[in-house]
């Protein structure tokens, strides 16, 4: 901590500087002055952490000096020195946000107490970015900052945390994470209170600290046992997890591991987030020992391509809602054996991405790219079996609920026109023929069609034919020349040229990529 002393009495100033050197060798006096004017210049030049300043001095008093420095945006901690007769000045200084007030004559013990307190405040602010406050809130903020900020001096921070929480250096910690999922905000305070009661009862056997992490919806317990339980799994199951089960939290997951040093806390928690996904396979009823997961026997995940193809064919058909059957079938496949959760999540992501791609290709942008990414992200981020099933089946439900025909948006004339196109697209049906059947002029039908559908009749007919061609390419084993006839193109070469203009791929290339 760098200090500037501004005091007009030479003996008092020299005595303070001498005491500072005795109190702590890390406290460095980087400047001194006998009046406020010179003091201000020295403070601006040295930018100290702390200024010790007398109130009543020649040329410029301490109050004016501090006000001027504040106006110039120069920040530092401040201790003011005062005699009995200067109490009103002192009160004014305290209202300005001065940190401490020392009454002359100064004692070594009082100066040490104040310097040490200010030094802790400065360290705390440098490490965490905020001032010290109420202890329980303080611990949450410190540890949240420690875990969430990647720009922290980890060694300095862990040393500080050891000092604050009175843990023992070089003694193993148990790092316990309790994931609350979607119930985090509603239940975090209650769960922390219950955990405090549980670990207060165990206080004789060690020290613990409890804090929450909103970003990852979890509560973390760091405990350092004087003498660890003979069976930690049994303790966590019966003394911690089972009592918490009285809360209606179906997605609550406890996992734990050992921690050799507080400096490992951030990386340790990141590892646990991956290990927590084992609850997808193992369930949430028991604590997950992260160290044991790597020794679990698992089966090879042979991705069910046939199931995916059936889902894509259903999605490409006129009834994409049938794809839901295959979404449920995929989950049943994943539950048959013990697979690695990473492979299950990757499989669910691949399966749903493939079906969404087909839906978008055949039926247009059913769901926005943002919606698709958001839903797929939920699948990839799932921490429990319930979360995975919910995110995965939500995508299936999107597809099921999609109404391919949006005819209700149109007037009766356009609605009937679209019906005729969908029924006769494989024939050479023209705008004039449809207008004649409805007893209106082709010009009127063309104008109305353009206005409501947003594109000319010929462009819409081509889109319908291309959509049907995509369905047949994905959902059948028909060849391109056979599909050409079925969608109203007697000339297969012309069909291939139109299809490539529309999709950027030949029919064969499109079928190979999407089937």
Looking at 364-456, list the stretches that DSSP marks H as alpha helix, in order from N- to C-terminal side: 369-381, 385-401, 412-424, 431-437, 442-453
Give the model confidence (pLDDT) of 230-280 as tens digits: 788 889 999 999 999 889 888 899 999 998 888 888 889 999 999 999 999
Provide CB contacts within 8 A for 113, sequence distance 6+.
Answer: none
Higher confidence at residue 405 or residue 355?
Answer: 355
Q: How far apart are CA 90 and CA 78, in angstroms?
A: 12
Q: How far apart are CA 48 and CA 504, in angstroms?
A: 67
- Spatial contact of 33 and 51, defined as CB atoms under 8 Å apart: no
Helix 305-316 and helix 341-363, axial crossing angle in degrees, nearest 10: 30
Higher confidence at residue 157 or residue 452?
Answer: 452
Give the model confidence (pLDDT) of 72-107 as tens digits: 888 888 888 876 555 555 566 566 667 777 777 888
Task: Kindly state the average pLDDT of the residues 456-470.
Answer: 92
**Parallel, antiparallel or unpaired: strands 218-225 and 206-213:** antiparallel
CA distances to 353, 358, 395, 502 from 321, rounded to whole Å, are 16, 13, 11, 26
Chosen CATH of 135-293 out of 3.30.70, 1.10.3470, 1.10.150, 3.40.50: 3.30.70
Nearest to 287 by CA among 258, 253, 259, 257: 253
Higher confidence at residue 286 or residue 157?
Answer: 286
How confident is the model at residue 405, as a pLDDT? Answer: 46
Residue 294: both structure tokens together: 């790597």
How confident is the model at residue 329, as a pLDDT? Answer: 95
Nearest to 470 by CA among 433, 444, 509: 509
Q: How far apart are CA 202 and CA 492, in angstroms?
A: 80
pTM for the complete prediction?
0.62
Provide the mean pLDDT of the chain. 84
Q: How far apart are CA 336 and CA 359, in angstroms?
A: 28
Q: What are phi and psi of 204, to 5 degrees?
A: -65, -20
Tokens 């059948």 belong to residue: 476
How confident is the model at residue 135, as a pLDDT? Answer: 45
Angular region, 504: left φ>0, alpha ψ -120 to 50, beta rest: left
Give the model confidence (pLDDT) of 360-392 as tens digits: 776 655 555 556 788 899 999 999 999 999 999
How confident is the model at residue 89, as a pLDDT? Answer: 59
Tokens 């400096």 belong to residue: 263
- The band of 407, judged by pLDDT with boundaries at 50, 70 and 90, is very low
Q: Is the dihedral of CA 259, 265, 270, 272 positive or negative?
A: positive
How confident is the model at residue 87, as a pLDDT? Answer: 54
- The band of 358, judged by pLDDT with boundaries at 50, 70 and 90, is confident
Q: How far apart are CA 280 and CA 383, in angstroms?
A: 7
Nearest to 117 by CA among 138, 132, 98: 132
Nearest to 5 by CA among 75, 61, 112, 80: 80
- The band of 64, judged by pLDDT with boundaries at 50, 70 and 90, is confident
Chosen CATH of 2-128 out of 3.40.190.10, 3.20.20.70, 3.40.50.2300, 3.90.1650.10: 3.40.50.2300
If one counts every other C-beta atom within 10 angstroms of the C-beta of residue 54, the result is 27
Provide CB contacts within 8 A for 460, sequence distance 6+.
Answer: 418, 421, 449, 453
Report the top-level CATH class of 407-514: mainly alpha
Sequence spans of domains, the chain: 2-128, 135-293, 305-401, 407-514
Query: Over 50: is that where the pLDDT of 404 sits?
Result: no
Residue 65: both structure tokens together: 């000096």
Whether the domain at 2-128 and the domain at 407-514 fall into the same CATH topology? no
| Residue 251 DSSP symbol | T
Nearest to 320 by CA among 353, 366, 351: 366
The answer to whether the peptide bond before residue 105 is cis (omega within 30 degrees of 0) is yes
Q: How far apart are CA 207 and CA 248, in angstroms?
A: 29
Residue 389: both structure tokens together: 């099933």
- Spatial contact of 62 and 55, defined as CB atoms under 8 Å apart: yes
Task: Kindly state the average pLDDT of the residues 424-443.
Answer: 91
Give the model confidence (pLDDT) of 10-62 as tens digits: 988 899 999 988 998 889 999 999 988 998 999 999 999 999 988 888 888 88
């Amino acid at each position: 901590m760098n200090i500037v002393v501004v005091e007009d009495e030479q003996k008092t100033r020299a005595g303070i500087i001498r005491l500072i050197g005795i109190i702590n060798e890390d406290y460095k006096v980087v400047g001194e002055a006998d009046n406020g004017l010179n003091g201000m210049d020295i403070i601006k030049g040295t930018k100290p952490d702390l200024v010790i300043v007398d109130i009543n001095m020649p040329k410029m008093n301490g109050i004016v000096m501090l006000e001027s420095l504040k106006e110039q945006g120069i920040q530092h901690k401040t201790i003011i020195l005062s005699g009995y007769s200067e109490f009103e000045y002192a009160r004014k200084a305290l209202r300005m946000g001065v940190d401490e007030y020392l009454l002359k004559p100064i004692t070594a013990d009082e100066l040490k107490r104040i310097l040490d307190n200010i030094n802790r405040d400065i360290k705390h602010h440098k490490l965490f970015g905020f001032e010290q406050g109420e202890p329980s809130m303080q611990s949450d903020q410190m540890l949240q900052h420690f875990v969430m900020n990647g720009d922290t001096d980890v060694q300095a921070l862990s040393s500080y945390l050891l000092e604050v929480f009175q843990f023992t250096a070089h003694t193993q910690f148990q790092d316990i994470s309790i994931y609350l999922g979607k119930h985090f905000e509603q239940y975090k305070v209650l769960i922390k209170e219950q955990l405090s009661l549980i670990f207060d009862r165990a206080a004789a056997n060690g020290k613990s600290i409890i804090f929450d992490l909103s970003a990852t919806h979890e509560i973390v317990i760091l405990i350092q046992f004087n003498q660890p339980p003979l069976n930690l799994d049994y303790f966590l199951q019966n003394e911690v997890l089972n009592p918490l089960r009285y809360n209606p939290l179906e997605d609550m997951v406890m996992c734990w591991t050992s921690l050799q040093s507080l400096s490992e806390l951030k990386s340790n928690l990141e590892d646990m987030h991956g290990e927590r996904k084992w609850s997808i396979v193992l369930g949430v009823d028991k604590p997950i020992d992260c160290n044991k997961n790597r020794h679990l026997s698992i089966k090879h995940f042979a991705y069910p391509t046939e199931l995916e193809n059936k889902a894509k064919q259903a999605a490409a058909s006129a009834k994409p809602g049938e794809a839901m059957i295959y979404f449920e079938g995929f989950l049943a496949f994943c539950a048959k054996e013990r697979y690695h959760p990473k492979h299950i999540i990757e499989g669910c992501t691949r399966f749903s991405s493939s079906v969404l791609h087909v839906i978008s290709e055949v039926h247009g942008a059913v769901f926005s790219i943002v919606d698709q990414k958001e839903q797929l992200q939920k699948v990839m981020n799932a921490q429990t079996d319930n979360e995975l099933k919910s995110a995965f089946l939500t995508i299936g439900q999107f597809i099921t609920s999609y109404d391919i025909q949006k005819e209700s948006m149109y007037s009766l004339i356009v609605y009937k026109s679209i019906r005729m196109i969908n029924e006769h697209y494989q024939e050479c049906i023209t705008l004039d023929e449809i207008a004649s059947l409805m007893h209106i002029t082709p010009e009127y039908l063309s104008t109305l069609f353009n206005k409501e559908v947003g594109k000319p009749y010929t462009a819409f007919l081509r889109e319908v034919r291309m959509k049907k061609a995509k369905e047949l390419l994905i959902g059948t084993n028909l060849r391109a020349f056979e599909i050409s006839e079925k969608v109203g193109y007697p000339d297969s070469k012309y069909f291939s040229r139109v299809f490539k203009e529309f999709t950027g791929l030949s029919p064969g290339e499109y079928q190979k990529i999407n089937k």
